[in-house]
Each structure stands twice: as structure tokens, then as C-alpha cells.
């Protein structure tokens, strides 16, 4: 039993209606045949395997059909049967391969025989295939015959390079350019052929066959014929198509694309190693990667591209493309596609294809090394994507320091009213600061909290929940008579500020505080020292309890927060503690690794003798009439004094930490 013919020979079209993808050529020819307005010479040009020679044979059959003029050959007359698929051929239709008969002698021989009338048909038709191979001398020998042929003579030139046909011949013919067949039309045609052959073709394998044919019907049928010959009982599967055609599996491309989106260099170079170890061609992998990037670019630019038919992919792969496109920005995809396309040019004649493939992947992974416009746009896409991810996080309350479980609840202080004086409350505090709390564990970093503007002198304080570890005056346990524990500084991760950085920039921070409020600057420059930085908590040590209480009650820690935000760009909580050993204005350069020396006990309050005149002046300055005068307090740069009924002795004791000793009147 003889082997069957190849698919492209068994299914060669016999009418113009069977020619697919060339309606712009077949429809005008059918109208010309039906109206008997056929020219004496035609030039069919186009890529290989798109139907030029087949259309020339159909045209010759229609011209010599006994029912002519007719648009399609009848297929019943003797001429149609002779020129049919698998027929013996006709002596009046002569096909010449110009690749081997393109010389001047062959042209002269054709000219001598062309004047003889046809034997049994209406016309003698010469089909000259690969017409661009005819030499200029041969075309010149045919020029007079093509220009003024006898009535029974027709010429049909078929070529893939019409520019090589001399202009004098082209000007005497009707030129019909053929095109590559669209993938969708070619895919439908292949499914019909598989149904006629009784072989199943997997939907995932069909795009691979169409892509391998590159729009040429003959090449596509040759590929399909190869797959049908190697198919098993289950038909043409995706695995069979990938193995025989040498394409990169979708799973490997998915792994590479996901790694590029996540900037995972380890996975990317692992994929390259798999490509080399499996024996695949690096250039083929680059081509498949470029094809996948092309699909992602279209999906990113046209979200409904799959519904519009811009991409012909199966349903599961369509969802995967949409998911992968969301991991890139438009500039990132186009930049990656340009890099892969440029690398494909370098693969030609490359001696180290693996090295070129790895360099291509490295360029895609590192947009920061690309100083071109696309590189900047790719970096901008990454920044915008990260910002959008941050905005999508659920907003919750700001984290606070954990309080001991056994602490009793404390009622919050009522807000201060702008009218007559009321009971003193704590000074204003932003959500990220505390009043005299003991050092706590650093909270989770949160978004920066907008601080009040420096023009507001004394904003209305929010309701504050005091921590159980502080007393009613905001003192830290052990601050009176006990030395605070030495701060333990842990090394900060790379890129974060340390306590050494804060101490080095402390003079600049003080300058900012001086521009905001002079009292806070005096308090910090004469009575305070930066002690420790624990995560998001900055600890400031003051020389005595009175200075610490004045620092907290005056709201000076708010100005410290603002100055830190302007100088360092951070939003930290401020802790104020009492450390009699603090040295205001002197940076603490003690070695953290050296064990701290035991802190000396807090000295007893100094005894101060207060004259009667000073007592009287203090009573007068803190009288109710004095406190209720708004004009007197508006121009004052001192902190708001608590409106308690304090006498001079209590005021000096609280503010200066001094012990009052009465002196005899006569002294």
C-alpha cells in the first residue's frame, strides 16, 4: 500500500472558494472571470506557501473550463479533470521553474513555442514560478512577447520577491499581492482538516502549530502532518507539540515571568539553568519569552483584549495572563520586551548563548542600572505599585505600648476650657508621645502622624490615658532618690538612625526648637541631655524633677517632635526622665560596651533662704487677678503655670526642687 500524500498536496484547493485568507485576491479574479475581462499577464507575489501557485492553477482551470466564462471551474469537463488535484495535467498549461530555466536560451525557446495554438483547450497558459530567478537577459527576451502576446496566450508569474522582476515586465501585468494567513483563519482551517482526518487536536497545541507555520499554509500543514504522524491514540497533545516543535513549556515561562515581577533573581537564573540543562535552545527560549511579554503588554494596555479577540489563547491561560500583567507596570513590560528583542539580535552567531541569556535576564532584573527613559519609567512603575499596595492595607488604630495587666484604670482628665481657669491637666500630646512614661518596647512602625503647626502655642489637649507606671505628677518610679538604669543601646539595622546620629545633630535640632519656642529651647539647652534611642522612643534626661515636670506640662516635647521631623524626617515618641548626672549641652559619648558606673544618689534639695520681698512678689504674680488677665499671659514666653493655689514656698519647691528655710525677721 502506497503512503498517502502530504497534507498540503491532499488538501490543495481546487476552487477560489477553498483558498483561505486571500479574499482580496480571489474575489477580484472571480469577478474578472465571470465578466470575461481576464488580462493577458498576471503577477502573483507574496510569502512562500500562501497560495500563489495554487491560485495560478485555479485561474488556468477556470480559463479553459468548457463552461467559461465562469468564476470557478466546474470540475466536470476534461480540462478541469486534467488539472484537478492528482490529475495527469494538461499539455496546454505549462509550469516552468525559473530557478532552473531562467536563462536567455530558455526564454528564446519559450518564445518560439508560444506562438503555436493550444492542442485541446481555449488558451495556452504559462505559469512561471519563482519568476524573480529569471535573469534580466531572459526577461528582455520575453518582453516583446509579454507586451503583445497572441490571443490564445496567457502568462502568470509567481514570485516571492516582486522587486527583482524588472519594471518593464511588472508594468505589463496585473499585480496581485498575496498575504500571510491570519492565525484565527488558519486555526479554524486546521481544525477542519483534523476532523476530516479523524485525529484529535488539543486546544492548547493548536496555537503552537499555528505559530510554527508563521502564517504560511503550506508550512503549517507540514508541521501538522509531522504531529499527526507521531500522534498516539489520544491525538495531538500539548506535550507532543512542545517536544517536537522545541517550544518552551508554559510552566517554565510562567515561572520566569513571576520571578521577574517579584525581582527574584534566584528563580530567574534557576529557570535559565533548567533551559540549558534540558538541552533547549537559548534563542528559542528568548523568542518564547518575547512572545509572552507581547501578550502581557496587550493585556495590560487592553483589559478586555481576550473578549475582543486580540489574543487567541485558552481560557485557563487567559486568566493567568491577566494575573501576570497585574504584577508589572506598562513601562516595565515594554522595557523588558525591548531588552529581549535586542538580545535576540545578539544571539545570531553568538559563541556563548547562555552568557547572553543570563545578561539579558540581569538587565531586566535591574532597572536601576538603566539610565534611559524606559529605565526611569520602570523604576517609577515599581514605586507607584508599592505605594498602591501600602494604600490598600487596612487602616487601624495606632499601636501603643502594652500596659501591665494588674494596673488599675485611671479616669482621663477633662479637656481644658478657654474660659476661667480650671483644674490643671496634662499638656497636649500627639498620639505617638507620652508623658513621663517609663521606657517601653518600640511599637510597630506606622505612617507618620501629622504634627501641629508651630504657630499654635497651646492647643487643646486630647484625652490622654495615663500609664499605670506613672504617678499623678508624671514621675517615673525611682526618679526621686534613685538613679535611672543605664540605657542599653542595640545596634540599628543598616539605613536606620542611631543615638549617635541624634547626638551629632542635636545642636541643629535645638536651633529648630529655638525658632519655634524660646522657653523650650532654654529648658533643653540648660537642663536636658539626649539619653537613649530605643526603636521609635527617644529618651531625654533632665537634671531634676522640677525641670522634668515643667518640660512635660509646658508641652515642650511637642516642639522636640516637630524639630526631629524637620531635621531627621522621623516621628518618634519622647520620654522624659530624671537623671541628676546628666550634663546639659554636652553630648554623651560614653562607650555602650563598657558597663555603666553606678549612678550617684540624688542629692537632697538645697536649702534656700527666701526674703520677704521675694515672697510678696511671688504671691502677687500668682494671684487670681493676675492669672485671669489674658493680656498679661498672651505676651509671655513662659509655659502655662498650673492654676493651683500655691504659695511661694510650694512654687519654689515644685519648680526648683528647693527646700525653703525660714529666716528670722531681723536677718
Give the per-residue SS3 of 251-317: HHHHHHHHHHHCCCHHHHHHHHHHHHHCCCCHHHHHHHHHHHHHHHHHHHHCCCHHHHCCCCCCHHH
For the record, the C-alpha cell of 53 comes out as 501557485
Please state which CATH class domain 183-244 belongs to: mainly alpha
**pTM for this one?**
0.54
Name the DSSP class of 422: -
CB of 173 within 8 A of CB of 39? yes
- Helix (H) or strand (E) holding 126, with range, is strand 124-129
The full 3-state SS of 17-47, as one line of letters, equals HHCCCCHHHHHHHHHHHHCCCCCCEEEEECC
In the chain, list all ranges with CATH 3.30.300.180.
427-440+471-485+496-591
Q: Is the bond preceding residue 640 a cis peptide, omega within 30 degrees?
A: no
Contact 435, 464 (CB under 8 A): yes
d(CA 643, CA 216): 95
Q: Is 3.40.50.10470 the CATH number for 7-177?
A: no
CA angle (559 as vertex; 555, 565 as ends), nearest 5: 140
Which residues in the chain come in under a pLDDT of 70?
A: 1-3, 314-315, 368-379, 381-496, 582, 585-667
What pLDDT, on the 0 to 100 scale, is given for residue 128?
Answer: 94
CA-CA-CA-CA torsion sign (73, 75, 80, 82): positive
Spatial CA neighbour of 286 closest among 213, 340, 359? 340
Q: Is 3 left (phi over 0), alpha (psi -120 to 50) or beta?
A: beta
Question: How many whole angstroms separate alpha carbon 189 and alpha carbon 200?
Answer: 14
Q: From 203, 197, 178, 226, select the one nearest 20 (Cα to Cα).
A: 178
Indicate if the alpha-carbon torsion angle 209, 211, 212, 213 is positive or negative: positive
pLDDT reported for residue 531: 83
DSSP string, 321-370: HHHHHTTS-HHHHHHHHHHHHHHHHHTTT-S-HHHHHHHHHHHHH-GGG-
Q: Residue 51: left if φ>0, alpha if ψ -120 to 50, beta else—which one?
A: left
Three-point CA angle 501, 506, 510, nearest 5° = 155
Pick 427-440+471-485+496-591's CATH classification: 3.30.300.180, 3.10.560.10, 3.40.50.300, 3.40.50.720.
3.30.300.180
CATH topology of domain 248-388: Zinc Finger, Delta Prime; domain 3 (1.20.272)
pLDDT of residue 429: 45
Torsional sign, CA 198, 204, 208, 214: positive
Residue 445: the pLDDT is: 47
β-pairing verdict for 41-45 and 174-177 = parallel
pLDDT in tens, 520-562: 888 888 788 888 888 788 898 888 888 888 888 888 888 888 8
pLDDT value of position 337: 92
CB contact at 8 A, 332 and 382: yes
Instruction: At 537, list the grid cell.
Output: 522612643
Interstrand relation of 153-159 and 174-177 (parallel, antiparallel or unpaired):
unpaired
The residue among 40, 70, 39, 44 whose CA lies nearest residue 57 is 44
Q: Strands (DSSP E) along 478-555, which ranges?
A: 528-534, 537-542
Cell numbers standing for residue 382: 515599581
470 phi, psi to nearest 5 deg: -110, 155
- Give Dmax (Cα) for the chain: 158
Non-local CB neighbours of 17 within 8 Å, separated by 6+ positions: 26, 72
Residue with cell 486534467: 82
Phi and psi of 96, rounded to 5°?
A: -125, 130
Distances (CA, A) of 264 to 179, 252, 257, 354: 42, 15, 10, 19
* pLDDT, position 218: 93
Amino acid at each position: 500500500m502506497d503512503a498517502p500524500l502530504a497534507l498540503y498536496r491532499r488538501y490543495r484547493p481546487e476552487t477560489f472558494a477553498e483558498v483561505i485568507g486571500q479574499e482580496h485576491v480571489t474575489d477580484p479574479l472571480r469577478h474578472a472571470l465571470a465578466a470575461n475581462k481576464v488580462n493577458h499577464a498576471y503577477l502573483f507575489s507574496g510569502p512562500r506557501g500562501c497560495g500563489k501557485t495554487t491560485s495560478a492553477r485555479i485561474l488556468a482551470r477556470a480559463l479553459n473550463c468548457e463552461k467559461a466564462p465562469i468564476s470557478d471551474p466546474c470540475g466536470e469537463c476534461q480540462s478541469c479533470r486534467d488539472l484537478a488535484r492528482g490529475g495527469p495535467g494538461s499539455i496546454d498549461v505549462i509550469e516552468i521553474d525559473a530557478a532552473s530555466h531562467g536563462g536567455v536560451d530558455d526564454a528564446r525557446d519559450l518564445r518560439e513555442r508560444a506562438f503555436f495554438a493550444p492542442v485541446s483547450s481555449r488558451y495556452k497558459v504559462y505559469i512561471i514560478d519563482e519568476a524573480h530567478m529569471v535573469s534580466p537577459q531572459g526577461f528582455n527576451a520575453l518582453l516583446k512577447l509579454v507586451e503583445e502576446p497572441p490571443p490564445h496566450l496567457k502568462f502568470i508569474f509567481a514570485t516571492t520577491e516582486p522587486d527583482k522582476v524588472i519594471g518593464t515586465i511588472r508594468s505589463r501585468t496585473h499585480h496581485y499581492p498575496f498575504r500571510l494567513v491570519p492565525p484565527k483563519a488558519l486555526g479554524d482551517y486546521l481544525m477542519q482538516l483534523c476532523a476530516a482526518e479523524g485525529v484529535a487536536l488539543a486546544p492548547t497545541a493548536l496555537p503552537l502549530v499555528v505559530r510554527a507555520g508563521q502564517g504560511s499554509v503550506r508550512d503549517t500543514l507540514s508541521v501538522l502532518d509531522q504531529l499527526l504522524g507521531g500522534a498516539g491514540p489520544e491525538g495531538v497533545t500539548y506535550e507532543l507539540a512542545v517536544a517536537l516543535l522545541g517550544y518552551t513549556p508554559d510552566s517554565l515561562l510562567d515561572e520566569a515571568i513571576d520571578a521577574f515581577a517579584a525581582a527574584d533573581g534566584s528563580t530567574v537564573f534557576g529557570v535559565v539553568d533548567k533551559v540549558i540543562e534540558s538541552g533547549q535552545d537559548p534563542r528559542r527560549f528568548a523568542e518564547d519569552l518575547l512572545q509572552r511579554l507581547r501578550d502581557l503588554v496587550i493585556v495590560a494596555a487592553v483589559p478586555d483584549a481576550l473578549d475582543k479577540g486580540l489574543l487567541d489563547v485558552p481560557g485557563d491561560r487567559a486568566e493567568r495572563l491577566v494575573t501576570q500583567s497585574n504584577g508589572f507596570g506598562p513601562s516595565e513590560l515594554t522595557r523588558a520586551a525591548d531588552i529581549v528583542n535586542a538580545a535576540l539580535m545578539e544571539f545570531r552567531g553568538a559563541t556563548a548563548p547562555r552568557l547572553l541569556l543570563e545578561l539579558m535576564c540581569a538587565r531586566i532584573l535591574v532597572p536601576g542600572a538603566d539610565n534611559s527613559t524606559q529605565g526611569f519609567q520602570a523604576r517609577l512603575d515599581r514605586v507607584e505599585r508599592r505605594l498602591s499596595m501600602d494604600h490598600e492595607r487596612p487602616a487601624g488604630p495606632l499601636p501603643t505600648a502594652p500596659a501591665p495587666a494588674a494596673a488599675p484604670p485611671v479616669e482621663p482628665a477633662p479637656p481644658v476650657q478657654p474660659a476661667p481657669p480650671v483644674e490643671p491637666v496634662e499638656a497636649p500630646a500627639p498620639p505617638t508621645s507620652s508623658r513621663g512614661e517609663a521606657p517601653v518596647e518600640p511599637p510597630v512602625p506606622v505612617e507618620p502622624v501629622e504634627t501641629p503647626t508651630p504657630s499654635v502655642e497651646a492647643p487643646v489637649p486630647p484625652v490622654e490615658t495615663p500609664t499605670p507606671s506613672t504617678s499623678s505628677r508624671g514621675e517615673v518610679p525611682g526618679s526621686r532618690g534613685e538613679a535611672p538604669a543605664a540605657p542599653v543601646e542595640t545596634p540599628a539595622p543598616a539605613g536606620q538612625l542611631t543615638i549617635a546620629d541624634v547626638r551629632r545633630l542635636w545642636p541643629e535640632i535645638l536651633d529648630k526648637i529655638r525658632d519655634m519656642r524660646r522657653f523650650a529651647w532654654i529648658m533643653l539647652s540648660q537642663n536636658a541631655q539626649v539619653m537613649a534611642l530605643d526603636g521609635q522612643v527617644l529618651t531625654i534626661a533632665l537634671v531634676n524633677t522640677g525641670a522634668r515636670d515643667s518640660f512635660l506640662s509646658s508641652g515642650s516635647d511637642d516642639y522636640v517632635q516637630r524639630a526631629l521631623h524637620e531635621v531627621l524626617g522621623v516621628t518618634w515618641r519622647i520620654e522624659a526622665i530624671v537623671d541628676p548626672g546628666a550634663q546639659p549641652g554636652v553630648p554623651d559619648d560614653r562607650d555602650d560596651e563598657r558597663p555603666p558606673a553606678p549612678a550617684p544618689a540624688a542629692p537632697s534639695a538645697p536649702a534656700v533662704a527666701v526674703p520677704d520681698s521675694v515672697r510678696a512678689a511671688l504671691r502677687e504674680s500668682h494671684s487670681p487677678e493676675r492669672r485671669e488677665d489674658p493680656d498679661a499671659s498672651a505676651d509671655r514666653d513662659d509655659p502655662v503655670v498650673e492654676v493651683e493655689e500655691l504659695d511661694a514656698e510650694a512654687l519654689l519647691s515644685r519648680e526648683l526642687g528647693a527646700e525653703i528655710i525660714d529666716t528670722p525677721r531681723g536677718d
